[in-house]
Amino acid sequence: MFCPKCQSEYSGGQSECPECNIGLVDGLPPEDRLNNARFVHLMTASDGIGANLAKSVLEEHGICCSITENLNDFLPGAFAGTLAAKPLSCPVAIQVLSSELEEARRLLKTVGGFEFEE
Ligand SMILES: [Zn+2]
């Protein structure tokens, strides 16, 4: 819980800030969330085409996202060193802001055709 005025965080049972005497809120205002924003993993597309499709859907709805194409980071260990088992297309990870993760998931589920690891 946070005080919307002085932005102190309270983990106890308080429902209002003892210094400002105003009710605590669950999250900080949007500008503060953006300042503390971190990208978190949303999904891994099987290739760049799927990743770009998801990206365009997300950006159409104002969701900021980042695409990371790095085979080594996202292949399971079983694939490491076994060239024959490597897929021809490179898996692409899509990241979104942690504050927009739930919305992004809901959005892609609505659109359909995207797979999530949950
Ligand atoms: Zn306060």
The Å distance, Cα 96 to ligand 1 centre, comes to 30
In the reported structure, the alpha carbon of residue 34 is separated from the centroid of ligand 1 by a whole-number distance in angstroms of: 20
CA of 20 to the centre of ligand 1 (A): 4
Beta bridge partners of 16: 23
Q: Sort strands 39-45 and 92-97 into parallel, antiparallel or unpaired.
A: antiparallel
pLDDT at 111 (0 to 100):
86
- Concatenated DSSP letters for 76-115? -GGGTT-GGGS-SSPPEEEEEEGGGHHHHHHHHHHH----
Rounded to two decimals, the pTM is 0.53
Structurally, at CATH architecture level, domain 37-111 sits in 2-Layer Sandwich (3.30)
pLDDT tens-digit profile of 28-55?
666 655 566 688 899 988 888 888 899 9
Among 32, 58, 26, residue whose Cα is nearest residue 45: 58
pLDDT at 9 over 50: yes
Domain ranges of the chain: 1-36, 37-111
What are the pLDDT digits (tens) for 85-103?
A: 445 567 788 999 888 999 9
- 8 CA distance to ligand 1 middle (Å): 6
**Residues with a beta carbon under 5 angstroms from ion ligand 1:** 3, 5-6, 17, 19-20
pLDDT at 116 over 70: no
Read off the pLDDT of each residue in 22-29 and give the average, rounded to a whole number: 81
